[in-house]
Structure 1
Amino acid sequence: MTDYKDTVYLPKTDFSMRAGLPTKEPQILKLWEEINLFKKLREQRKNSEPFILHDGPPYANGNLHIGHALNKIIKDVINRSQSMLGKNANYVPGWDCHGLPIEWKIEENYRKKKKNKDDIPIVEFRKECRDFAAKWMDVQSEEFQRLGVYGDWEDPYSTMKYESEAIIMSEIGKFLMNGSLYRGIKPVMWSPVEKTALAEAEIEYHDHISTTIFARFPVIKTSLDIISDFEIIIWTTTPWTMPGNRAVAYGKDIDYSLIEVTNVGENSLAKIGDKIIIAKELVEDVMKEISVLSFNSSNTLKGSDFAGTVLAHPLNNNGYEHEVLLLEADFVTTDQGTGFRSYCSGSWCR
């Protein structure tokens, strides 16, 4: 049998027939390191248009996970693309070394050793946090580089560097000197255990099913005779605030229907003959919710027609004889509820 292999002209390549990535990738990374690829690119692009990617730093509190990989690889693609377009993409990686995630890790170690955090001197506690962060910065740096992310890994930034803290103080000083710094009041979430303010990312909300109510506010003073015997209906998710109610809000451009109930279902919240006012857009939903089977809609009014109207409190026969004003508000919507909003002392509540 004739062997034609040597008579056929085939292209030759230095590429291996198999990728062998677990072996090949470390070799490529080592080559980049040996030739100092990142610095060579910076030298070539030093006079080019700069491209700066502001990278939100990861916490230095453990090994990388898939979220870190996705984040950094996407950013690496962007930086490399900009570099190939001729820009000076000087990517400086960094780490966030402050905050509760790092403190929690140290406190976990205390609990394992039966130590009380409050017995540890604050200087010692902070040093342990700093050492912990430094350790994981080194670990994560190696892991990012193993992913092939290019950047200035020899000189990264960290929020715990004294130089960084000094710059922060310097910038705050500028705000102080130009009059932009002021003392104000702002509500923040507070951890009584950690004795510190909490960021939104550190707060977990647990779903909770609350009781909602519809409440009646009889009209007692009005320039509109047509509504003199009607009741304004509000819906609230915070029924415990009703004793603090002082006003009801309406939307001036919302259409409101005057409803008279003619038939009700079992366990209805209304009775035949009730005269109530609800946003026209929400009538069907409310009638279904309060089990009203049929009703007459005698008229429609604009919210602005209610100006000057005064209501009675739902508990007016139980010590709440004060008048309730019907006021215009631009935040009243018809997304849900009845088209009216209850105003409780110090806050709006739906």
Structure 2
Amino acid sequence: MRNLQVGLLNRLKVIPILPCSKWTLRFKGSVSKPEKSKRYANTLNLPQTLFPLSMKHGAAAQRELEIQKTKEFQNLYYWQRQQNWTEEFVLHDGPPYANGKTHVGHTVNKVLKDITNRYKVMKKCKVHYVPGWDCHGMPIEVKAITDDMGQHQKLSPLEIRAKAKKFAEGVIREQRKSFMRWGIMADWSKSYLTMNPQYQEKQLEVFYKIYQKGFVYRNYMPVFWSPSSGTALAEAELEYNPEHVSKSVYLTFPLLTQPKVEQLDKVSGATVHAVIWTTTPWTLPFNQAICYNPGIRYAFLKCAKSSNVYLCEESFVEKLKAIVGGDLELLCNVDGHTLEGTVYKHPLNQQELPFLPGEHVLPGKGTGLVH
């Protein structure tokens, strides 16, 4: 048996596989693979090209640049502008941000628009297309100071703007190279930048015209602030934490005119207070109305301790008793339309403001009265 094993090993090639201690046996002679059948090769109608074998290993990209140069693709825009065609096609292109390298999104955007422009040229339309870049401050500033590790806090606003401008100019040069290489038909020598003084001058002129027509005015509005980026945000940029629970408050607004309810006439010297619940107490200084629903039933309750009368939705009575912590006597229940024409006083600025009907006031939500 021993001789048989030695003879077998002499005929085989032994190759150790580390780090395992086992042995793998392979035959010395290579096993020939059967040749692939080419009997269907002549049945395929494939295009026969003159591409040289050197097109492999990156040479294709170099060949592409040579074709663009020799065929003068960039001259197509100038050529079509010189044609004696009567119809003109104008494309106002939304400019890309000058804050990063080109990606697939840029490709889809530019190529689809370029297809449209070239189609119009084929229809003998003189295409007017001016490429440009959006140099709006915030997206570029964030990129420009990304690698500063907090050092930008020591920079003045003018220094940050200068750094952002330099960053944007570098991005524009790189993106322009990409767009030109893609063969986008445009006059790249006359592209516009939103940070150019001439462009900003035109913006101010248009803004002033809008202001003169009365479409621009000053008023109060909430401004959302981002502590992380240190700037104001648009409402569309907000991201809410679904686990966050807002702090809410209950408060009362005194009525100046009482609804015409017989039971209220019997309560002499008492002021009716509308009970409000809100999760946005910072909006209270700008309150302009209290909304009620004509289809909801409301209750008037007298407090034994303070002699105040409270107004709330009928289904909120038991919860109001727990909040006040005192005995509340139900005076009466009324339909919502009874509150029409009621006026109340804002407790902070003493304004006289109205009760307004609103379908957005839903039963079982808060007190039935919405600030």
Q: TM-score, normalised by structure 1?
A: 0.57
Query: Aligned equivalents of 1:16 and 1:82: distance in 2?
Result: 32
1:131 offset after TM fit, Å? 3.1
The higher-RCO structure (CA 8 Å, 6+ apart) is 1
- Greater Cα shift, 155-164 or 134-143: 155-164
User: Measured at CA, do residues 212 and 148 of structure 1 come closer, stay the same or move farther in structure 2, by a change above 3 Å?
Assistant: farther
Identify unmatched segments of 5+ residues in structure 1.
262-273, 314-319, 343-350
Question: How many residues in Structure 1 have an aligned counterpart in Structure 2?
Answer: 299
3-state DSSP of counterpart to 1:341: coil
CA contact (8 A) 2:255 2:342 kept: no
> How much has 1:192 moved relative to structure 2?
11
1:334 paired residue number:
361
C-alpha distance after superposition, 1:192-214 (max 9, x if no partner): 99xx9756399655534312345
How far apart, CA to CA, are the structure 2 residues paired with 1:93 and 1:42?
14
Deviates more, 1:51-60 or 1:107-116: 107-116
Q: How does 1:148-167 map to 2 (within 5 A)?
A: 148-165=183-200, 167=202
Distance (Å, rounded) in 1 between the aligned partners of 2:120 and 2:245:
50
Q: Is 1:255 aligned to residue 295 of structure 2? A: yes
> What percent of counterpart residues are identical?
23
Would the aligned equivalents of 2:276 and 2:367 in 1 still touch at CA under 8 Å?
Answer: yes
Q: Secondary structure at the match of 1:34?
A: helix
CA contact 1:219–1:227 (8 Å) conserved in 2: no
| 1:142 alignment partner, SS class | helix
Cα RMSD between the aligned structures?
5.6
Distance 1:68 1:60 in 2: 12
Does 1:137 pair with 2:172?
Answer: yes
SS in 1 for 2:170: helix
Q: Does 1:234 align with 2:276?
A: yes
C-alpha separation between the residues in 2 aligned to 1:310 and 1:112? 51
Q: Deviations over 1:298-325 (max 9, x none)?
A: 653426x432466998xxxxxx9x9996
> Matches of 1:246 and 1:197 in 2, distance apart?
26
**Conservation of the 8 A alpha-carbon contact between 1:246 and 1:324:** no
Give the drift of 1:44. Answer: 3.8
1:90 aligns with 2:132: no
| Partners of 1:223 and 1:114 in 2: CA distance | 60
2:88 pairs, out of 50, 65, 85, with 50
Q: How much does 1:341 deviate? A: 2.7
User: Can you give the 5+ residue segments of structure 2 that lack an aligned partner in the other structure?
Assistant: 1-38, 302-308, 323-331
1:87-236 equivalences under 5 Å are 87-108=125-146, 116-118=154-156, 122=158, 127-165=162-200, 167-168=202-203, 171=205, 175=209, 185=218, 198=232, 200=234, 204-205=238-239, 207=241, 208-215=244-251, 222-225=258-261, 228=264, 232-236=274-278
SS in 1 for 2:91: coil
Match of 1:266 in 2: none
Pairing 1:61-80 to 2, within 5 Å after superposition: 61-80=99-118
**Structure 2 Cα separation of the partners of residues 231 and 114 of structure 1:** 53
CA distance in 2 between counterparts of 1:33 and 1:149 reads 14
Alpha-carbon shift at residue 216 of structure 1 (Å): 5.9
Paired residue type of 2:171: W
Greater Rg over alpha carbons, structure: 2
1:148 Cα shift? Answer: 4.7
Structure 2 equivalent of residue 306 of structure 1 = 340
1:45-90 alpha-carbon deviations (Å, 9 max, x no partner): 6425333232222222221244434433443344344444543333
SS of equivalent residue, structure 1 residue 37: coil
Decide whether the 8 Å contact of 1:91 with 1:152 is kept in 2: yes
How many angstroms apart in 2 are the aligned matches of 1:184 and 1:60?
31
Q: Helix, strand or coil for the counterpart of 1:130?
A: helix
